[in-house]
With several copies, the nearest count.
Chain A
Amino acid sequence: MGLEELYREVILDHYRNPRNQGHLEHPQASAQGVNPLCGDEITIEVSFDGDKVSEVAVDGQGCSISQSSASMMTEAIKGKSRKEINKLVGRFRQMMSLDEGDDLGLDPERPGAVLGDIEALQGVRQYPVRIKCASLGWNTLLEALDA
């Protein structure tokens, strides 16, 4: 446990080389999120093909946790339906101990196992102030989809 758990290689990689960076030409949904306490900012834009996410772009600035989390999120939601995305967000929030509930059937020892790369973020749970960083992109995505 400790910093190695927090700053896994995959996180640093997404931080240095964020995926799906920038803006879409004609986003169908978008939202902005800020963490007023630390100043992190994020803009998420999404386009759909039918019910499925066809394109997603993220722009913003912030710490390695918020930026890598958003980057991994964009990869994870591409091609997914709203329903699948909701489930994904639910799993993420559960991994972060933000939500309780066992209806997602996650392994309590390794709740992030089904999340692929994103599981790397579970070290954040040990750093309660950083959980807000990790969830900034996800909360902003939810806002974009709800709007």
Chain B
Amino acid sequence: MTDLSYLKADFPILDNGVHFLDSGASSQKPIPVLEAMDRFARTSYANVHRGAYKLSVASTEAYEAARRRVADFIGATDEREVIFTRGATTSLNTVAFGWGLENLTEGDRILATEMEHHANLVPWQMVAKRTGATLDHVPITDDGRLDMAVLESKLGPDVKVVTVTGMSNVLGTIPDVPRIAELAHRHGARMVVDAAQLVPHTSVDVNQLGADFVAFSSHKMLGPTGIGVLWGRMDALEETEPFEGGGEMISDVTLHDATWADIPHRFEAGTPPIIEAVGLHAAIDYLDSIGMDKIFEHDQELTAIALERLVDVPGIAIQGPTDMKDRGGVVSMTMEGVHAHDLATILDEQNVAVRAGHHCAKPLMRSLGVTATARASFYVYNEEADIDALVSGLRRAGEIFGVN
């Protein structure tokens, strides 16, 4: 068993004994991340890219160092391909609107999947409406995996973009993105990956993924809220219009016209999340000091234990893959006769924090034939005791509701 228990001291929020199993929604922040932001704000803060004075130079350097750190972390060869956004949602909106409005037209098809988070679905719906493109979806198989045969059959010359989650936030499924990217490119389509759940939990190399755009959030990977990343392959970014207008993203402005600054600045209108970039930098340092492979291993081990023990709990059904093949540390479950929301309340009474609901994936819920699930998700600070607490809480729920 991969032992990461030495990390727990870095997460004071867990001191009161909460079994925090909702990192899929957002992770906790370790002290080194909080301290890095605090220290920066106390010693080196000023607006970036704007001042010729020392504090501004220091602040700009810290901000750009964060960009380089992110590039390095995801295997990007050119740091200009890293754009700081507000979060994965804004990253995906930037692609949908910035790339989509420019490059999609009536008759084109956008190919998504049935297991997308609303963040990778609603923006494409909006863009489809404005461009006249149609939005098509690859279904999932009975065991909660992407139906690759249907995906292949749905590809065609009219498909201009394929967009897929890197890891389902409901089922934990990890689709074969490199394979999908290869297929997409073979048909001349751009490949977008919603990596909000993938980047925090596995070692990601954007070139190995084969994607054109990759989106993720800081707050799910031990970093602060308020910042996320859009990585784009340079030629894909060159096809993309800015999503927002404002300061710092222009080369010149007259009263009626503006020309854009270079990439990445043209995509970063206004004052960026500067302190948050420093925090994200520290979070990546922290993750790397543990080792992404070790984190993945640790999550896998906990997931395997959870899956094994949950089947013994009366009434429990796992939604999504029940084996360990190509899946991450997200486990969705339902209990016969007990609504997920009631499960969450009962678990909370025992200090077990899980999420209940549709997990911003309503179409997937409909396809699974459920209205809500209770979801446990694992991260670096979790341990087997959290699963013990989960299982005993679920049993208690079964008792209260008379499930047997």
Contact = CB atoms under 8 A, between A and B. Distances in A.
A130 B261 CA distance: 19
**Most chain A beta carbons < 10 A, residue from B337, B365, B371, B396:** B371
**Most chain B beta carbons < 10 A, residue from A6, A61, A127, A129:** A129
B339 A63 contact: yes
A61 B345 CA distance: 17
Nearest to A12: B401
Given A12-B401, A127-B345, A36 B339 contact: no
Contacts of B342: 7, 63-65
Given A7-B400, A63-B341, A129-B52, A39 B251 contact: no
B15 interface: no
B366 to A, nearest CB: 11
A7 B358 CA distance: 23
B251 A38 contact: no
A130 B349 CA distance: 13
Nearest to A41: B371
B57 A129 contact: yes
Interface in B384-402: 396, 400-402
Interface string B339-351: 1111001100100
A79 interface: no
A40 interface: yes
Contacts of A130: 52, 341, 345
B177 interface: no
Given A39-B358, A39-B362, A34 B341 contact: no
B206 interface: no
B341 A62 contact: yes
B357 interface: yes
Interface string B356-370: 111000100100000
A29 B335 CA distance: 35
Given A3-B400, A62-B339, A62-B341, A37 B50 contact: yes
B192 interface: no
Contacts of B358: 38-39
Given A3-B400, A130-B52, A34 B57 contact: no
A8 B391 CA distance: 23
Contacts of B250: 36
B313 to A, nearest CB: 17
A2 interface: yes
Contacts of B251: 34, 36
B309 interface: no
A130 B337 CA distance: 18
Contacts of A129: 52, 56-57, 345
Interface string B287-306: 00000000000000000000
B57 A38 contact: no
Contacts of B49: 37
B372 interface: yes
Interface in A39-68: 39-41, 61-65
**Most chain B beta carbons < 10 A, residue from A34, A64, A65:** A64
A46 B168 CA distance: 41
Interface string A104-142: 000000000000000000000001111001000000000
A140 to B, nearest CB: 14
A41 B339 CA distance: 13
B3 interface: no
Nearest to B51: A129
B252 interface: yes
B371 A39 contact: yes
B252 A34 contact: yes
B357 A37 contact: yes
Interface in B302-353: 337-342, 345-346, 349
A135 B252 CA distance: 19
Given A12-B401, A129-B52, A129-B57, A39 B345 contact: no
A42 to B, nearest CB: 12
A88 B339 CA distance: 27
Contacts of B341: 38, 40, 62-63, 65, 130, 133
Contacts of A36: 250-252, 261-262, 265
8 contacts: A3-B345, A3-B349, A3-B400, A38-B357, A39-B358, A61-B371, A62-B341, A129-B56
